[in-house]
Amino acid sequence: MQEKIQPEQLLEAWVKLSGIIKNTRMTKGLQYNEATVMRLLYNRYKEDGVGLISLKEITTKTQMLKSLVNRTVNSLENKGLLERCESDGDRRVVYVRCVPENLKEYLVVHNHSLSLAQKIINIIGTGDAEAFVRLVSKIESSVVR
């Protein structure tokens, strides 16, 4: 009979995974928060060819503090990877979008991350990778923040 997993074991595994992600630099070339925001912008850009997203939506989707989102957006703007856009209606709403001409810089980082993810899939197998994605989604949708 398999022993019941203890919270301490789960916490230990979580900390190890966080260390592995940090030490392998999954987001090499960008800070973690920058890569997170750029991933949202890039995915939106792939969907609609524009990639416009509000700072409020970034805050909601990333669960980052508003002040951290602002700092991250400022940093990405300084790097030329995104730009702020005027709102047609409500001036209180701030939108940003990726700069299409500079996407190749982000894609270098993104493709590096994808190659590391593929290596992980090769190590753990497709079935476990699918289970991992499913479990992370389940955790995301049910964890109280």
* pLDDT of the residue at 102: 93
C-alpha–C-alpha distance, residues 50 and 41, integer Å? 9
Q: What is the pLDDT of residue 145?
A: 52
Domain ranges of the chain: 26-142
DSSP per residue, 53-122? EEHHHHHHHH---HHHHHHHHHHHHHTTSEEEE--SS-TT--EEEE-GGGHHHHHHHHHHHHHHHHHHHH
**What mean pLDDT do residues 10-37 have?**
79
Q: Could you say which architecture CATH assigns to the domain 26-142?
A: Orthogonal Bundle (1.10)
Find the mean pLDDT for residues 44-72: 94
**pLDDT category of residue 141 using cuts at 50, 70 and 90:** confident
- Over the stretch 28-41, which tens digit does the pLDDT of each residue have? 778 888 989 999 99
* Residue listed under structure tokens 């993104």: 110
> Is 136 a residue whose pLDDT tops 90?
no
Cα 83 from Cα 77, distance rounded (Å): 6
